[in-house]
Amino acid sequence: MKSAGILENIRAKRIRVGVIGLGYVGLPLVIRFAEEGFPVTGFDVDPVKIEKLSHGQSYIKHIPSEEIKAIQPKLALTTDMKKLGEVDAILICVPTPLTAHREPDTSYLKKTAQDIQAVLRPGQIVSLESTTYPGTTREIYLVCFQETRLKVGEDYYLVYSPEREDPGNPQFQTKDIPKLVGGITSECTRVGAALYGSVVKQVIPVSSPEIAEASKLLENIYRAVNIALVNELKLLLDRMGIDIWEVIEAAKTKPFGYQPFYPGPGLGGHCIPLDPFYLTWKAREYDFHTSFIELAGEINTSMPYYVVEKTVEGLNQQGRSIKNSRILLVGIAYKKDVDDIRESPAFKILKILRSKQARVDYYDPYVPAVERTRQLPYPIYSVHFSSTVLKKYDAAIIVTNHSCIDYELLRRTLPLIVDTRNVYRRKYKNVVKA
């Protein structure tokens, strides 16, 4: 089908949209297209997710089950990737993790490309949303699809449109966030822009997939570098006896030329801790060393060690050793008021503490249990939050500052609190900033 017919079908909402990967990026897309009246098929390799969604249940805290139930008439769900041939637009939202050596793990991208290639037919739109290095759309997907003998820009349409989700941020919903679209050809861009333009308020076409891929990395690297800057300043100003949080509040009164970033116990989430290393890896192909980005990564990944050091110092001042101390991690999600634990610095802090023979538990109202993950080879469970339980601990480390936690009860009950999020604005004898 030529692009004119596809554009007409998009306007008439006669196309079926398929979303591969029903996580924090894919599920909001499913909801958005279904809300606008498009029939949608959700694809995921996890049968548990498919089962829950088929019963109208959300497994993501900030996405209400009511939103899933509301789109049931428009929603089909499957683990069978052969059914990709039955949809007209394929949106790819698969993980792009790093290997143990901090190099891109492209296995999910390549597997998805092969799954699509096996059923690719004329008239289909394929959009990659996963964050990755510049060149991925062309080098993995276009090369794979060339084996079909279908011509890109004429028989099918291939674009890159990076996800820009911010889980738990009520100010920016999927429909409100501008969407970049870069196609292999100009006709690919036109078709991709029309598809996304039917569900978001603003689409920004760019000249190529590489521009869109690099733009997404720039967005995340910008944040990673600036967070590293304030983390390093935190280390320095701590030695100087200066409160970094008050410094930031003072600096942000300037109405131009400054944007506040905040220190923390380390980076978390699927984007900021990982994405910069996709570019540093690709840069080696061009004999280029990204010193600035890698330095920022080193600073951010060192922060859990600093938090543990401050905990050890605090215990020492109370005449206690870290060995056999009972320590409670408060918040294990990677950010405030979400249940997302991906790359959370809490796991690194837990590992370091246990290596020092501390006895560590956690409390997180958003994460009642953590099953075995790449970060944690054994399951752990949240403790109950009460004065009786809290009295068992020698110290608490506030890793994630969820709004619903009773921090006053925590302060009144424990002899030592290590505050990595500036929860306590006033100075207290039992609170140490880290």
List, by residue number, the catalytic residues.
271
**What is the end-to-end Cα distance of the chain in Å, rounded?**
59
Q: In sequence order, which residues have a C-beta less than 8 Å from that of residue 318 and are 6 or more positions away?
A: 394, 415, 416
Q: In sequence order, which residues have a C-beta less than 8 Å from that of residue 133 and are 6 or more positions away?
A: 104, 213, 217, 278, 279, 281, 282
CA gap 294, 373 in Å, rounded:
26
CA gap 88, 156 in Å, rounded:
10
CA gap 4, 87 in Å, rounded:
18
Candidates 370, 396, 365; CA nearest to 381 is 370
Strand ranges in 201-290 using DSSP code E only, listed in sequence order: 203-206
The residue type at 301: T
User: In terms of DSSP bridges, do strands 395-398 and 380-381 run parallel, antiparallel, or are they unpaired?
Assistant: unpaired
**Tokens 């540093």 appear where?**
280
C-beta separation of 366 from 337 below 8 A: yes
**Tokens 């790819």 appear where?**
92
CA gap 18, 39 in Å, rounded:
9
User: In terms of DSSP bridges, do strands 157-160 and 179-183 run parallel, antiparallel, or are they unpaired?
Assistant: antiparallel
CA gap 296, 298 in Å, rounded:
5
For 94-112, give the secondary structure using H, E and C.
Answer: CCCCECCCCCECCHHHHHH
CA gap 420, 434 in Å, rounded:
5
For 364-395, give the secondary structure using H, E and C.
Answer: CCCCCEECCCCCCCCCEEECCCCHHHHCCCCE
**Tokens 């079909």 appear where?**
148
Please give the DSSP secondary-structure letter assigned to residue 175: G
Please give the DSSP secondary-structure letter assigned to residue 167: T
Please give the DSSP secondary-structure letter assigned to residue 139: I
Q: Give CA torsion, residues 269, 386, 404, 26, to 10 deg.
A: 40
CA gap 341, 345 in Å, rounded:
9
Helix 291-317 crosses helix 345-355 at what angle (to 10 degrees)?
Answer: 50
